[in-house]
Every structure is written in structure tokens, then in C-alpha cells.
Chain A
Amino acid sequence: MSETVAADLVLLDQPFTAPGVRIAIAPAMMRYALRARDPAVLSAVIGRVLPSRIGDVVDGIACLGPDEWLALLPAGTVLENETGQLVSVVDVSCRAVGITVEGPGAVALVATGCPLDVERMAVGRATRTVFETVEIVLWRKAVDAFHIDVWRSFAPWLGAALVAGSPS
């Protein structure tokens, strides 16, 4: 555990490394909150394939709920948004901050605060869950790599909590 606990937390300004883990702020990206009763309608509106099973991710679009998807796309990617359709497409690019946790110790580090069986989470799956008291979207991008999306104002706390939980 590292001496990073200050009275006033600031977002990690550079990657933090500890034995087996690297924690960094993900580059800026486009985020869309996507909702629809019928995935086909939404798919047609945004012109993209949607995962149908909760927890699956296709081309950066994660299915979070039966009628809910979160698109985490490279900066500058714009999704079409016609009005009058039976869908909701909302740009929430600035709502969250991405934190990446990578390395052989990544699973153990995420497990310090996430109550899911992170070890058994399949690669490529994403889900909304919590890290201690803070809501996150956890996306396992590789065996040793996670992307954690967290609302902006919680990001300094989450970054510091991950650093505090890192092996010394």
C-alpha cells in the first residue's frame, strides 16, 4: 500500500505502477447511453451491431441491461441520433472517466473492492457493478486488463482507492 492518501484527492495525473499492476487514466472517448425497447430499431438508427446478451460487448458497445447499452468509442466517433424514433441516444462523453488497470495483478486489484468473482469474469464481458460504494462499469478487455468507467466526480476517489489497494 502506498502513501497516497491526501486530504484532497486529485485524479491520477500520470500512470501509477506497482509490482504487477499499472493504473492509468484512459484517453478521452465518446460515450453514448443507448436505450430502446427493440434493439433492431436502435441498431438501425445508429448503424451499428448491438450485443443482445447482457454483459456482452460488440465493437465497444456493451449491453448493460435488457434495454440499455453503453457505447465506449474512440474520441470523435459520432452516432446518428434521429428524433422521433423509439430510441434514446444521449451523448454522455464527459459524464465518466475511464481508468485502466493492467498487469498480472489486475484481477486481484479489482477484487479489492469489487464483490463480483472477477477472476471468473470472461474476457470481453462488461457489467455495471460497484467498487466499494462507487458505481462503475467494469469491462474485462483481456485476461490481465480492465477498463473501469466511473462517473467523473468519483474518479479521483476510485483512482486513489486502487492505488491504495495496490501491492507494495
Chain B
Amino acid sequence: MLLIHCPYCEEDRPEVEFVNGGQAHIARPADPSSESDADWEKYLYIRRNPRGRHHERWRHIHGCGRFFNAVRDTVSDRFETTYKAGEPAK
């Protein structure tokens, strides 16, 4: 079980308090109706699956309830860092 540092609680907390929210930094287009089919498809379905550094969203659902972003190494499963939603990608 991973220990995840919640940037809001400022504590390392057990993985069972969290849920993964998929790839981070995919903003919903401001005006979806003006998106082309191809761009909209990209927004909906196209995700990275990197070997190594991966930006992803987590939610401290059974804690402070907040979504935040994390950089996790998909090979070692180590978290490099976590940071609050809205902050630029690290």
C-alpha cells in the first residue's frame, strides 16, 4: 500500500484513503461546441501511458476530499511529488 503525500493535509496518508483520477492536466475545453471531432476525441479518449514519469490526478476522497496532482514513476511506483490542483505541472 502506497503512502501518498496530500498537499492539502500536508501529511503522508495511506493509499486506501485515495482514488486515482487518471491523467492530470487535461483541461475541459472552454467551448466544447467549437472543438473539432478529432480534438474532442483527443480530449475524451487519448491518454498517455508512459513508462516512467507520469502526471496524474488523485483525490483524497476519504480525507480532505480534495483533488490534487502527482508525479508518479510508473516503473518504481514512487511518487516524485504531489501538488495542489490549479498549480502548474511539475
- A contact residues vs B (CB 8 Å cutoff): 54-55, 64-66, 68, 115-116, 127-130, 135
User: Quick check: B1 and A128 within 8 Å, CB to CB?
Assistant: no
User: Among the listed stretches B10-18, B44-52, B75-83, which one makes contact with chain A, having 4 or more residues with CB under 8 Å of it?
Assistant: B10-18
Query: What is the minimal beta-carbon distance from A117 to any residue of chain B, in angstroms?
Result: 9
A130: chain B residues within 8 A (beta carbon): 16-17, 62
- Give the number of A-B contacts (CB < 8 Å): 37
User: From DSSP, what is the main secondary structure of chain A's interface residues?
Assistant: strand
Q: What 0/1 pattern do residues 22 to 44 of B give for CB contact below 8 A with A?
A: 00000000000000000000000
Closest Cβ–Cβ distance, residue B60 to chain A (whole Å)? 8
Is A54 a contact of B64 with CB atoms below 8 Å? yes
Q: Which residues of B contact A115 (CB under 8 A)?
A: 1, 14, 16-17
Give bound CA distance, A70 to B66, whole Å: 16
| Cβ-defined contact, B14 with A68, below 8 A | no
Whether A54 contacts B14 by the Cβ 8 Å rule is no
